[in-house]
Chain A
């Protein structure tokens, strides 16, 4: 158990509303990641963080923002949700200082944007 908790696990929302997904870890790892998984596209990196207030963009960052004010929490925000953001979102952590270690994933958050 990598000690990763995602919330909410399921959410249905309307187009244009803001949505925030939370990833919480219990081990104080430095590196945290947000991925989305879609049929035909596999897992794609949205944003990642390498420390408190240190974040960087991934492959599909448009329309998403992140924040990390505490080591244990990494928040993913959709400022104005669109139907194309309907997906399963996974948080991951990587132990170690350099971020090159094993990836461990949370159980996922399924988001439906109507």
Chain B
């Protein structure tokens, strides 16, 4: 059974800092990995999708990497802003296209 872990559970940084969020998974036979952002009381917003054949994806100040062999993904946020404050979740899609396994998320607070 796939297990997804996100460490740390919470992170507080000053504005402008570059930061890295971590996601690890136990079964490397994945189809893709997706990073989401969730604001309090809201749904999940897709940030980046990395296919199993890819090593990284970039969107604006966000860069996500994938290392299947070690079962790890990182989300790099450059020049953090208070508006980046949210919970960030990663989800791993297995070979059964119907099922994704989610981590519990990292709650990020960016202080002005």
Among B34, B45, B46, B99, point to the contact of A58 (Cβ < 8 A). B99
- Bound-state CA distance A48–B45 (Å) is 19
Q: State whether the Cβ of A105 lies closer than 8 Å to any Cβ in chain B.
A: yes
Say which residue of A45, A104, A108 sits within 8 Å of B99 (CB atoms): A45
Q: A31 touches which one: B42, B45, B97 (CB < 8 A)?
A: B97
Find out whether the CB atom of A108 lies under 8 angstroms from the CB atom of B43: yes
What would 12 more interface pairs be, CB under 8 Å, given A40-B104, A98-B97?
A33-B98, A42-B89, A42-B103, A43-B102, A44-B102, A45-B98, A50-B98, A58-B99, A100-B32, A105-B44, A105-B46, A107-B42
| Contacting pair A99 B97 (CB below 8 A) | yes
Q: What's the tally of chain B residues with a CB closer than 8 Å to chain A?
A: 21
- Give Cα distance in the complex from A92 to B93, angstroms: 14
B31 at the interface (CB under 8 A from A): yes
Give A31 to B32 CA distance when docked, in angstroms: 16
Point out residues on B near A: beta carbons under 8 Å: 31-32, 34, 36, 42-46, 49, 89, 91, 93, 97-100, 102-105
Cα of A98 to Cα of B91 in the assembled complex, Å = 17
The answer on a CB contact under 8 Å between B102 and A56 is: no
Interface-central residue, B42, B45, B97, B103, by most chain A CB under 10 Å: B97
Interface size on A, as a range, is 20 to 34
The CA-CA distance from A54 to B31 in the complex, in Å, is: 22
The contact sample of 29 A-B pairs, CB cut-off 8 A, is A31-B98, A33-B98, A40-B104, A42-B104, A43-B44, A43-B102, A44-B102, A45-B98, A45-B100, A48-B99, A58-B99, A59-B99, A94-B97, A98-B97, A99-B97, A100-B32, A100-B93, A100-B97, A101-B49, A102-B46, A103-B34, A103-B91, A103-B93, A105-B43, A105-B45, A105-B46, A107-B42, A108-B42, A108-B43
